[in-house]
Amino acid sequence: MLTGGPVDISENTAATVEYRCVLVRPRSSQLLAVEESDQHRLPRIHIPEWTRPAEELQKVIRARWELDVLVLETWAAGHDVPAFVVAELLEAEQNSFFVEFPVRQFKGSEFSEEDCQHLESLLEGRTKIPFSRLGWIDEAMSWIESATGASFSSKRNIAQWNAGGGFALLSTCSDDGRRYWLKATGKPNLHEFSITRLLSKSYPDFLPKLVATNTEWNAWLMEDAGAPISDPPSAAELVPAARRMAKFQIQTTDHTVELLNTGAFDQRLSVLSDHIDAVVAYLIEAMARQTSTKAITLSRVRLLELGEILHQACSRLETRNIPDTLIHNDLNPGNILFNGTNCVFTDWSEAAVGNPLVVCERLCRLNPSHRESVQAAYRQCWKNQLSNQTIEEALVWMPLLAIYAYLYGRGDWLARTEVTSPRSESSARSLARHMDRAAREISLLEAPCH
């Protein structure tokens, strides 16, 4: 339900996730195993919860066993049972710490019959997901070499950020020192391919340079565009990023229909307003199921009050006729890249169309101490399109409206009939508490309405 951006885990405790490592040499169907108490089992590792699994797994395997691997797939094995990670060794190096056995050797002790069949389909290339197949990275590197004209003689410098389920995000460096990023998306983010291609074509100055696309993989290749800004960002990083984003948004005001048709989510005020009652009803049910005593519980009456305030916010701002623009709904420091002279924006899986000042609020939250400077940058950029009164009223409502827009997200979750997960409900309750604080702290009912 809740997509994009960091997840609030105030109702959870710090934890790690255990993985059983299915390590496979190139062009092999044998798995690496360790000997323990006269038995052989898959090696195990732990990574922090709430982190990128592919990135952490690759790092831990390298640190623990000095093995360079490419994560192909992960899957959960059941309640209170370690998950699986399937990883291909990028080089056929030997390691005396391990012995090799076929998949079926572990049936019963490590794998169920279903697990065995799933793993064999990956190793034999029978999966429909290209990035889960053994050896797919060789095809990818050939494509990258063809698209860039550069040579890549080693796969050891491949760094992963995402893998599994039809998704891939990795970077690699050519022999002459140029870095490139490969990204591919699966369901439910297939639209990011089209959105990225459209934005790169229409607004190339605001995204990393697009080098090539692969429609079969739903993948694209980008030039490296610099390092992410600091977390939290300094004023010297955040204010220029705000100016760039505001200018980017202004350029999109006449192209919102095209953006929506390409896959951007609809977060226009009229749409947000139409779904307030349904979201509040969900929050009432989710809050009633809260078991944590560490976080406050909002009453049904207070949630209904928040719904009325949200209706008021949308109604007031709709009368201001602020043009809808492109919105970046996952605007964290990692998605704002700076090369020393210019910044660009990446990761458009949560792209939407809506009120531009929602993004101003999201930028402010990256470092609240620079709120006034970020807002000043937006005022300056939008002064020819909006009156001062309109901007000021919108900025008053944004701390509340931006949280609600994030909670609403893609909006598709409201039509689902299945029960949402405890994690989703926990996140929704946390966002409701943030909305409650926003409503109280900024005196929304006294917002100017000239």
Q: What is the pLDDT of residues 386-435, one digit of tens each?
A: 999 999 999 999 999 999 999 999 999 998 888 788 989 999 999 999 99
Distance CA 234, CA 238 (A): 6
pLDDT score recorded for residue 288:
96
Locate the domains of the chain by residue range: 16-132, 136-223, 228-446
Q: Which residues of the chain have pLDDT under 50?
A: 1-13, 444-445, 447-450
At residue 50, the pLDDT reads 85
Instruction: Check residue 13 and give its pLDDT.
Output: 45
- At 29 the pLDDT is 77
Residue type, 372: E
- pLDDT computed for residue 94 by the predictor: 65
pLDDT at 144: 98
pTM, full prediction = 0.91
- The predicted structure's pLDDT at residue 14: 58
What's the distance, Cα to Cα, between the start and end of the chain in Å? 37
Q: Would you put residue 333 in left (φ > 0), alpha (ψ -120 to 50) or beta?
A: alpha
Q: What is the mean pLDDT of the chain?
A: 92
For residues 357 and 394, the answer to whether their CB atoms sit within 8 Å is yes
Please tell me the CATH superfamily of domain 228-446, with its number: Aminoglycoside phosphotransferase (APH), C-terminal lobe (3.90.1200.10)
- The CATH fold assigned to 136-223 is Phosphorylase Kinase; domain 1 (3.30.200)
Contact by Cβ (8 Å): 309, 334? no
In this structure, whether the domain defined by 16-132 belongs to CATH 3.40.50.1100 is answered with no
